[in-house]
């Protein structure tokens, strides 16, 4: 499955203004809920998991976060993408004592382990490309981001 197959234009938000990582997760999780991708338990489950297993990843140019939770909270597979107006701190996945300023969040709602690994691989490939990530950050609307990811995913 291609990454773009999991990202609907309705699930992409730009210039999100938040106070912290949990508010970012809540906003993106509520979009997934509203669009019928997840159960009403999803947001709290993601936040609780993030406290124990942080998902901040230091990229080459930009840092991202890939929060997710157990598939029991997922109805349909999807990925919400959020580009923040200002960076927020996420704890690093590989060093939970360290926080990194994060600009882009990929909130995963995945039903199967295979799709989960494929989605992670696709996102990890993307964050290695500085120009691609900068292009996503400069987008002013969801359609532009979808087009960039679609071109990359071909």
pLDDT of residue 116: 83
Q: What's this model's pTM, rounded to 2 decimal places? A: 0.95
Q: Which residues make beta-bridge pairs with 86? A: none
- At residue 23, the pLDDT reads 98
Per-10-residue mean pLDDT, the chain, length 154: 87 96 98 98 98 93 93 96 96 95 96 85 88 92 93 79
Q: What integer pLDDT is reported at residue 122 of this predicted model?
A: 87
Q: Residue 152: what pLDDT?
A: 84
Residue 114: its pLDDT value, please?
A: 81
Inter-residue contact 83 to 103 (CB < 8 Å): yes
Token duo for residue 132: 């691609």
């Amino acid at each position: 499955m291609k990454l773009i197959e999991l990202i609907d234009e309705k699930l992409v938000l730009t210039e999100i203004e938040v106070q912290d990582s949990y508010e970012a997760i809540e906003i993106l999780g509520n979009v997934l809920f509203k669009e019928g991708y997840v159960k009403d338990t999803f947001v709290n489950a993601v936040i609780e998991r993030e406290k124990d297993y942080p998902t901040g990843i230091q990229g080459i140019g930009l840092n991202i976060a890939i929060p997710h939770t157990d598939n029991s909270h997922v109805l349909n597979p999807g990925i919400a993408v959020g580009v923040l107006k200002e960076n927020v701190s996420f704890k690093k996945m590989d060093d939970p004592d360290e926080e990194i300023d994060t600009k882009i969040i990929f909130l995963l709602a995945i039903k199967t382990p295979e799709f989960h690994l494929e989605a992670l691989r696709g996102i990890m490939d993307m964050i290695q490309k500085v120009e691609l990530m900068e292009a996503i950050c400069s987008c002013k609307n969801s359609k532009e981001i979808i087009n960039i990811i679609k071109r990359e995913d071909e």
